[in-house]
Chains A and B, each alone.
Chain A
């Protein structure tokens, strides 16, 4: 687990609406896997882009509760200041919107995704070697 300690993930909500069981569970799972998780809550595109720089994160996770245009604007703002930062997203995202976000360069994990799959994605996206079998 030691190599994970330096990996930092910012989790943010894209919408002002608020049920957020999912974000909370993902945060707990990522912390248990050894990541340092920073919660930005609900924030605007500019605030999220600033937080990415201030917190010097390796990965951005977005809890999507609204329209894809808002997600794309946030990611544009982030990539303008931190080109190529990996981004993954989850939430109530209809299949057509998943396809659109994936085409935009965002990995999407819709409801029903098992938490270990999200943790594995975080490891891959932050270039952490897969844990040895006996630790999983």
Chain B
């Protein structure tokens, strides 16, 4: 065990911690002594009155790899094991950049194809992934975490629903289209500029406001900001700065009522990491901040709009490569914090997260952790069991003040998208990462199995999930078959129409649905974007 500096008493984000908290800490910090009721504005104590008595949180895991049929099999396995909804994972080599599998950048590393998700290049591939899955009654997330991928992903999913005769009024699910993911976190992508991305997201928000009342159109993922380095209050501030970019744009466009759009935008996701109480406080105060923001900035007071609904993914970066079974414990601790914070849905990272995408067993454990919490602990019996805790209310107030201050800083820098274009937000996140590592190396923080306690006698080493080896070959065959079988004239015409819409102001979704219905491919749609919008210029050296 390395020699250590004294560990300072502060949260991982840097809020000082006293040895004990009293009522005066809450009052002095300006927090309201009466924290209100669950299900009533400002919702600090929960989005709904009965919380988990009425409806347990949705067990909702990211899943998929290899071929569309492999992904279909994994989703069915998880649903059979008790998952309540599913999140489709895409092959990042193709999906994120909108490349078909024959793009030279993909061919150059073709062994990687299918490693991180299924290769899905057309609506036919969507039909394979969703085969036998009752999407009319199962909450779905078609993937499309990446902004420029979302119109394609959603249009494919909705086209499958349409072909099955499912009423859009009843179809429930979520999009994502998250700027944090590829404009802050994984910036090494060929992708459209942020303004084009904003237009796509506004198009999706409006399309859902008009046609899909049970669909969360875009789910801002503070997760991806936090896992890139933003601390708890920066995650909050940046998430709301992102939300106002959407709502300001929707207001300017004036096509749908703002409160309807706001109800859609108010389905968000956060990261929960290992700082237990700070993270619980973050989720509780996030709901109040959203309610306050809608009232003060837009005059929106509608209950449905001001009620923030939260999905949580436990921090992948908290999972260690060393002694991976310890990650089951970490997953449990982070899941518990999420539940005490009042999440509506939850995904727990696999214990093999630092090695690979989840194996079937790691996935099953992510479900079992949540099932044990739902069925063995009585956690679901009482709403907001920690409401009124002096520490939590104090931390909530601290986070709220710091988060609004960070929000103002982003606004002063021209807003959320401008802070991405300039690299300002990246610099903040990287500085935090460096600082966090410095604290780790100086012994101010510890990670079990990494900095301390590194002996491991586990007789069953975890070696990482390898997946399938034929994803590239099978995808190449599917692409050839699609191009051979489809009505080429119809595809060409639909793609020309899509290009025309992209160059104008009309909503892109109807043209996208026509294009995918005519068997246009992911890469062909990407080609249209690249012609019309060009590429985002990454503001930092990569």
Contact = CB atoms under 8 A, between A and B. Distances in A.
Interface of A: 13-21, 24-25, 28, 39, 41-42, 44-46, 66-67, 69-70, 73, 92, 94-97, 110-112, 114-116
A92 B109 contact: no
A52 to B, nearest CB: 16
Contacts, number: 98
B109 A24 contact: no
Interface stretch (B181-189, B202-210, B288-296): B181-189
Contacts of A67: 111-112, 115
A104 B96 CA distance: 31
Given A16-B106, A67-B111, 6 more contacts: A17-B93, A18-B96, A21-B229, A28-B434, A41-B188, A94-B463
Interface residues of B, number: 41
B15 interface: no
Contacts of A28: 430, 434
Contacts of B437: 25, 115
Contacts of B112: 15-17, 66-67, 70
Nearest to A70: B109
Given A16-B112, A66-B111, A116-B441, A95 B463 contact: yes
B450 interface: yes
B111 A94 contact: no
Interface string B304-326: 00000000000001001110000
Contact of A24 (B111, B116, B433): B433
B354 interface: yes
A67 to B, nearest CB: 4
A15 to B, nearest CB: 6
A13 B188 CA distance: 9
Contacts of B374: none
A110 B441 CA distance: 16
Contact of B92 (A18, A45, A69): A18
Contacts of A116: 441
A19 B115 contact: no
B141 interface: no
A111 B105 contact: no
B521 to A, nearest CB: 18
Interface string B160-200: 00000000000000000000001001111100000000000
A25 B542 contact: no
B541 A39 contact: yes
Given A67-B112, A111-B321, A112-B450, A18 B105 contact: no
B355 interface: yes
B504 interface: no
A19 B109 contact: no
B187 A92 contact: no
Contacts of B330: none
Interface string B431-445: 001100100010000
B257 to A, nearest CB: 37
A6 to B, nearest CB: 21
Contact of B189 (A18, A39, A44, A97): A18
B50 interface: no
Contacts of B187: 18
Interface centre among A24, A44, A69 (most CB of B within 10 A): A24
A92 B358 CA distance: 13
Contacts of A69: 111
Interface in B86-127: 92-93, 96-97, 104-106, 108-109, 111-112, 115-116
